[in-house]
Chain A
Amino acid sequence: MPAIEILGLEKTYSVGFWRKRPKRALHPLHLNVEEGEVFGFLGPNGAGKTTTLKLLMGLVYPTSGSARILGREWTDPAVKAQIGFLPEQPYFYDYLTAQELLGYYAQLSGVPARERVQRVDKTLHRVGLRDVQGMQLRKFSKGMLQRVGIAQAILHEPKLVFFDEPMSGLDPVGRREVRDLMQQLKQEGKTVFFSTHILSDAEALCDRVGIIYKGELRRVGAVEELTSSVQGKVEVIWQGSIPASIKALGAECHAAGDGVRAIISESQQDAVIDALRRERLRLISITPVRTSLETYFVEQLRRAETTAGSTA
């Protein structure tokens, strides 16, 4: 059973003051996220990531479509007891202390009274805020507030966690900690759905990613699967000189000491090997160059722009 089943959720807002005109924030979205999976929802700012999350949280209503979360209708209040949500740039009741805030959220999430204190304490410890648990949130830094946000999302031990830009506003150490925490959640068997535009985080954490652009889901798949679909390059290393025939192919060659390293396209691979044989040069290695998610992502956005431009 998928943890999240999005069945054509769509959102169109009315914009303008006098003459309202429709603005589509999300095209019909179909997406499944399996249980125990870490799913990255990628896209530039304004792509529709937050709209999707708000729709799933019931904060905005869809124009059409529906969704199922943990096997139930997404509007079912019972579902909400089993999910956690961290909004983008969270803001909390700043007159409360971290401990009071988590206590309040524990009450609203239905954590039994006898477990509440212990659960709050454990969560504060987990996100590294135990030392400042009695401090009012108005005195917290942005990074500390982000930790509070994560704490409130996992406090009630949900089966499924939604994070909207969880690394936003965090320094490198904070980002590492959040990554570790997400990995721990995965190890605990929880499903994590998070939106981000920081691709290295997605690459490091996700089992699968979805790329959304201008409200439309462009691609879904495992990082390796997506990046390998881009026509690859090959790194060839050999010993000796650089043959003129290889130079003529326009290959980028870098000589260092006795060795030469060249990055060529896959289609040129045979020609390069033939040239090395002819010149009796010693081939050391041929390795496919893996496209990074970032390269893939930029490529996808460029393609989407081109398609949009040509249809306009």
Chain B
Amino acid sequence: MQNSVAHIASNTFREAVRDRVLYNLIAFALLLSGAAILVGQISIEIEKLVVINLGLTAVSLFGVVIAIFIGIGLVSKEIEKRTLYTVLSRPVRRWQFIVGKFFGLAGTLVVNTFFMAIGVFAALLYVSHKFVRSDALILVALYFIVLEFLIICALALLFSSFSSPLLSAVFAFSLFVIGCFADDLRNFAGMTHGLSRWLVTGAAYLVPNFSAFNVITSVAHAQPVAGQLILQNTLYALFYAAMALSGAVLIFERRDLK
């Protein structure tokens, strides 16, 4: 029974692969290579900066879209198609199903990011002809992007556990956009007074702070990333994903599968 999570995760990964989601990578790699050639021709001196910015932003956006696109259907689609019935009538607990789905999707995104990162490094090599030590910082930015994905996966699952795929997509994407401006929201909270201050501050700390994960620009300028930020972001992402996942489990445990 302990292995149920691993079996469900592996099947979720297999589903994503057979759903041809990973094949968007080929398109992405081609697009990025094409863009790198083009950038090399039009932006003298800053071509490397543009490739890193463009490449990492694309990795992040593609991944977010995939996480939301797959995540929102993970539970609701199984209920709707009743594929869940033959899983939960076995010695599988509901929390194992949710956690297995989470790891399956997270695994898909990690593999996705790995291949997309190869595309970024290939484009970088094309424009700069060699790697330098500061290019290793790109790995930190990629790590933060993966952490971001973990949060989005958990949120997509949370929404998927109680609402339709369409609504889940709207909720998850809205939260992603708001989360990208979490710092601004926190600053705004500092400017308000009274009850609204409490409400805005509460909302600002409740939404995921994705702005803390965005180090793409500084990495592109070869500025080092503080070790403390790496630790902080890691703990924050794990905590936030665990909370969202717990919420998904709590809702799903109580749900009647009509």
Contacts and interface: CB of A to CB of B under 8 A. Distances in A.
Interface stretch (B84-92, B106-114, B218-226): B84-92
Interface in A69-127: 77-78, 80-81, 83, 85, 87, 89-93, 95-96, 104-105, 107-110
A92 B18 CA distance: 15
B11 A104 contact: yes
Nearest to A148: B86
A54 B19 CA distance: 30
A13 B255 CA distance: 12
Contact of B7 (A60, A91, A92, A104): A104
A91 B15 CA distance: 15
A92 B90 CA distance: 15
Interface string A216-259: 00000000000000000000000000000000000000000000
Contact of A83 (B11, B85, B89): B89
Contact of B83 (A57, A89, A93, A110): A93
Interface in B226-258: 254, 256-258
Interface residues of B, number: 27
Contact of A93 (B1, B11, B257): B11
A107 B86 contact: no
Contact of A108 (B19, B87, B254, B258): B87
A152 interface: yes
A173 interface: no
Interface of A: 13, 54, 57-61, 77-78, 80-81, 83, 85, 87, 89-93, 95-96, 104-105, 107-110, 149, 152
Given A59-B256, A61-B256, A108-B90, 16 more contacts: A13-B258, A57-B88, A57-B89, A59-B88, A77-B1, A80-B90, A85-B86, A87-B86, A87-B89, A90-B82, A90-B86, A95-B15, A95-B18, A105-B86, A108-B7, A108-B87
